[in-house]
Structure 1
Amino acid sequence: EDLGCDLSSQSTENVYESAKNVEVDLFGDIELKVIMNISETISCLWVFKENQADCTPSLDSENRYVISLVFSKIQENQAGKYTLAVQGENSIYTIIFTVLVRSNILCKPRKPYFVKSENLTIINCMSESYPPPLIEWLFCRTPDDRIELEQLKENGIMHDTLFQTDIQCCATNELGRECTKLYTIDLNENLGASLPELLLKVGEPLLIRCRAVYESYAFKLKWYFENRELKKARWFEESTYRKDLSMVRILYAFASSMGRSDSGHYTCSSTEHPNKTALVTVLEEGFIKVTDSREDFEIDLLEKFCFEIKLKVYPPIRCIWISSQQSFPCEQNYSADGYSISSRFCDHKYQSGEYVFYAENDDTYVNKTMTLHVKRKPEVIIQSTSKQITCFSDSYPAPFWTWRKCLGPDFSNCTEEITEGIWRGTPERITFGSWHSSSTLDVQNTMIGFYVECCANNSVGASCVKGFTNQQGAVSSLRDNISFYATIGFCLPFIAVLLIFIFHKYKKQFRYESQMQMIQVVGPSDNEYIYIDFSEFEYDLKWEFPRENLEFGQALGSGAFGKVMNATAYGISKTGDSVQVAVKMLKEKSDPSEEDALMSELKMMTHIGSHENIVNLLGACTITGNIHCIEIDYCLSSLVLVLLWNKREKFHRTWTDIFKQHNFSFYHNFHLDQNARLDDFGGMQLRRDSDLTSGSNWITLYSEEEEMKYINRRVYEEEDFNVLTFEDLLCFSYQVAKGMEFLESKSCIHRDLAARNVLVTCGKVVKICDFGLARDIMNDSNYVIRGNARLPVKWMAPESLFDRIYTIKSDVWSYGILLWEIFSLGVNPYPGIQVDSNFYKLIQSGFKMDQPFYATEAIYFVMQSCWALDSRKRPFFSQLRPLIERQLVDAEGAVYQNTENNISTYSSNSKTKSRESREDEPFPSSVPSQDEDS
């Protein structure tokens, strides 16, 4: 935003102020930029709260000087006036910004503080908040004090309330209340009572009261500092008579601005009372120290539990609790000394995961991450192959497995334990609160025709499931409750009628349409275009492949309109060779319109051509038979989304270790998990997770060129997929941009670009695909009904969502969401936000997701550029691809440089291992140097 630049009305020549204040949300990112069109050589300096930071001017394309100051995740203590001092050859320029930090969460009043007015009889109580606080004085500690105060009010002598022992000032708004007690030494109180330490910062005011009551007015009070009488200019006295004619004297010690030399013991001396001493400590800067906090918790479901953290702080803190990228208010309970606090958080709703306590004051901040594991009993499902039965379980903690043979007329007596032919897989941690484990039983001839039972048992409980082994070794589940079958039999006709009705309604509403479309621009506006109608194109018979040369295997995916089958194609590349392919086909009872749509998709794929980063066409069967089918690359691999899920925890541990050790080459030396293995489809597994995408049927594809390499490279591929590095995330992003740049060059739009539609293959080669035909959009929660269609609304650009406009720029928006998925390691976009009317309002208002945990500032900048509301301001893929490529080159260069530095450090014989600490910079979020970026 152009803030405008006005000459200051108060100042001399060449002093400018921004016409508007800079307003930014708490933890937001902003950049202050000054453009100066002057011909002389300049140097510059930023000034904030008497701190200084150097800056480096640069020249833009119009030969103007550009000076910037960047804030990343701005905090409240960074609000205020920022002054840019520019020194030219002949002139000095001063530019002033006012930065306001909007805090929608931390809006409670700050802890009040006291300041002596120029009038010796007036003490001001001050606090800040938004909305503004109501200031209230409290002068009582007990009910008797309150009665006495009411009598004073009736007699019109409220001035006497200033002579009470306990005086508090409270600041209140609708979001909370904070109180501060005026530091008072009462010489008439118990001599054994200890006085709390008084903490102040350099520059803060001091105000201490010494109170004494005596039957005669003829007594005196004096202040001493380190055994020297305090100067007259630093104290003043007030006195009054009580109703019993005794005298109350108040002696104040004050200072408008404290320095380090003012630290020490302040003693109040009386001619009729024992002396008392207060310790005043003046700090250079504030502090936050965590004094007591655990990090890991395991609890039972419904067990009463709250997180608690204890700290010692000065000055007072503002704090929040963060969970699943949602923020919660932070309640603070102060102890008697006023500096020790505790905070509890109970609103975890028994959700396993990481919970972060964040606290800050004007000088520092602290993050404390705590992990909650909620125990739950196993949930068991049973599956089978031709000769094996496998049981899977999700639970916490990991369970122990037992197998039994079931006997008796109703197979209810499952007591004979099976000990032979059992294989127990290594449990895999898939989320904070879930272990995925399995156990497999090899079916022997002696077991055929019997029911078997597998049980998973952990500290919470046990779950069992039964299955019948028939002649082919297949398994069917057994329910113990006979009434269950009776109910099913009674309801089956009604269920069948209902399903037929739903099916016909669905068929009436939804028709298959290829997600990928090629557009023909017919006007200058985004909405002035038409799709190319490939039904009018001729099909090139060179792509035709004999149906009899296909040997079909198992189904890889099945959806609302069709399915994808694994098949062996004989002679598709050259005579005598067989190649694994994926065959994409409609279901047997398909509409003519759906057949036309699949045929149009086939013609479009022949028109687009091949590219290494998209799934490519190999051939088609269209002449014989009543099912149109397409053979496409069969990539023995995994979806990018599934790979991110499976490697999330290992990546997080690696990432954490790297930043602890500052060893960026650590990725490439990471110890592989020897027990990890890929299944027959490259580790492809469907997972259920409240924060992740679920419910879809996934397929994997393998390219023709990689088919012959697969057998010889399987072991190396498994190790390759066991390691996931930050460079891999960049490389995935780069390859998707490269594939989309190719589609962009063909005027082709994808319309459903997401991590679930991207494959990662051998050598971590990424391929963009389109699973629309084989996706069960009725059961996939990512597809929401809008009008008469089911749409992936969380990935859609605003113009597509509200105006049904799809262009290359709408794919760019989706690419930004895909980047967010990659650098959050597969978290579902807009976590915690329901797709409802409020969601659509957020999108229309320009809401953008926060920076993912594993993304750099540069990557997050790319995401934000993709999410520009005005599609014309979004970059093209031809611009995005070099941006990501540069990030990848820089990251790999940093790894290489770090490795060289490690070798050099190891070889050197330096005796000094300490490193001089850098002085605290006044701009904690200012622009880092190039080295720091790396």
Structure 2
Amino acid sequence: MYCSAKGEECDERPSQPWFDFISNEPGSSPNIKCVSESYPQADIGWYTSLETSGKGFTENPINTSKFVKKTLVCCATNAIGQECSQLYDYDVGSTSMEEQEVREVVLSPGQSLLLRCSMTNKESLHPQWSVDGRPGMTTESDNHEGFRMAYLYMKSVTEEQNGTYTCVGRQNKSVSVRVLAKGFVSVSLGQTNKTISTTEAINFCLQANISSQPLPDYCAWETPDGKWVDCGQRSWRNGTRVLCDQKISGEYKLHLEVASQRVIRTMALCVADKPQINCSPLEGIVWCEAVSPVPTNVSWKLCQESNNNCMRDPQGSSWTQVQHEKVEDVYLFCETRINSSMTTNDWLAADLPANPFAQFCLTNSFGYWCSDNQYFSPPSTKTHLQSTGSNELKIGILVLLVALVVIGLLFLYNFRKKPRYESQLQMIQIMGHNDNDYIYINFKDFEYDQKWEFPRENLQLGKELGSGAFGMVVQATAVGISPLGISQVAVKMLKEKHQTVEKEALMSELKMMTQIGNHDNIVNLLGACTGTGPVYLIFQFCWYGDLLNYLKNNRECYHKSLTDAFITDRFSSLYHNQQSKKDYSEFQITLDDYSHMQPATTGGQENIALLKLTAEGNQFDKDREQQAEELEGLTYQDLLSFAHQVAMGMEFLSSKNCIHRDLAARNVLVTKDRLVKIGDFGLARDIDNDSNYVVRGNVRLPVKWMAPESIFQGMYTMKSDTWAYGILLWEIFSLGVTPYPGVKVDNKFYSMIKRGFQMECPYYAGISVYRMMCKCWSLEPSDRPAFSKLVAFMEAQLTNMEEKLYHNTAEEMSSDYMNALAILDISSQLMKGKEV
């Protein structure tokens, strides 16, 4: 916008033109008026081509009889710039959807919509629009110049006009109309990591499906070699933008600007060329190194004939294949580095004659390759023992050098590609009606509310609870952070040598947590220290650590029923404990100790009181209480309670438009009264040495917990969290077994996931719970249940268990209770030395 010196008037670019539809008398073709607002007033031009450089018509409105051709473009032009709009046309006489026909129209409330479909009058039918009775619509038919046409017009659209509109003719053509507020943008790149062969690269195109309101002001592709390719920005016929004939491996970025909002989407392309193989034959060893774009199987072949015979018969009987395990494989996206050697011992094990020729071979999804013939000259048997020491020294030095080179390359790569810290928990802004249309909210520029600030001097740091690549979590004592006075807390912090961007990320996480709020099943933020000194985020402390280890540690005391728990754990341990005491006269057992033998009504947890052995006031200190709680057996109700509480926590996060992205038993913490809380302590997890995180692309990911769209497209939504919740259920009801037991994460695993493979029912799960797990693992995200439904399901499961428990209690409690009293009476008499 350009303003005059007096500030009275501002020159501005024309607005995007829109259409007014003007009906004429019956038998006459309608008029279309093109409207655009600007200063100075724009000139209106009509064109019959997307390229507006040709001759146009200047009258406004124009009669549609002058524009029989499919393309009709209106452009508004002034000294500042030009904006164009195009009539949406559909040929219902054609058997195929033409490229210029728009599949989707995105508008803002209040804009006008004009659609036209046509067919030649050789057909007996007349095209007509199917509008499904929606309000505010005008439809009109026209017939001239050998064409029959049908128009659909809405002067001012509202959200009520959302839907699919179909023009019926010899062929039906449909268009999706979406009425959205300005600022909406959705970009789909399909696969975010794509590997193709060099042959496929000749005709391969990167493709982005873009839906936005308004149309992008700017659109460009950025190639790995730093070039920028404009993908067009005016008069879009549809939302698909392509970049073809790309033969360079690397990251391609699509840059968009929509209503001052900048959007970047990234796709990694790997063009798989022939692997590079380099071999070095030495005395007693052939060492080969290869670089392949994709994971590769390796093998060695030895030929016992002359070199000429071996060359003439590369696949024949002269060659013997030798398998061995001496392979070092370093996998990065589009760069798998392989080192392998054939040594004297391998040659001797193959029982081959002297001086064979060797080939190092690679097999991957794109082909089979072998190195040139390498002359393999192992030492003779007589001198073998004499030269063993020197050969081993040479081999050791060579292996050490190669290892140093590999370590150096890995260090340089990790230094160059070192990931930055980012909270797994992210708050999103949904941009449309589809959950997949969202952006992460950047809290970097949000103001930090000082009410969360906690005096650093009131915080006494204690032992380390966890440490990772970016930071650590320590236990601490906080004075005055809660009404209790002195509280145990967990403090999250960065390591001393951190980067500025990591501190900004931690501050962004802090600001996000203040926006989310508190919930019983979330590890809640209590405060922060952001002033002079390191940034500390202060969270609730959970006494029993993560749920995964809690389940593993309590496997031995799992009981299927309440009665099992009482008889096996509580009563028998009590009886043995009584026998071990020296001064039996001090112990008193009262009927009050039985008053807690009832199922809990909150959270579905059972709370069977241990029969207390008391002395001097029947008091226990905190350590005794904690130990007693740890010794209580787990029951099926407890497992349901854990599942229910996690579902409630995730329902709360979903209501705040938060996605977790790493929901697993290791990220759920357990505190007193078996209350579980969802946390995000990825900052303090050493994922490089955690087998649950495997390399995919350039990062380590918890693949076994990830939904297919997250693995293959990098898309995380509430429904991908639902998938992870299903895996978490499997962990809970297997008492901490690693998902997909015995299955290695490789190409076979990824193929299984794509095909819809689902784990079998875990040992401790009921059939109804297992069915819900399977629903969570639906390949189609929309088929997975929402967390509100999962909460209701788990509540129903707990209610059913409680009803069964009450029935069992009514039938069995009386006899069990009397038996327990009888045994206790006998034991009491034994303690006093009486005969029974």
TM-score range, shorter chain: 0.3 to 0.5
Higher-helix-fraction structure: 2
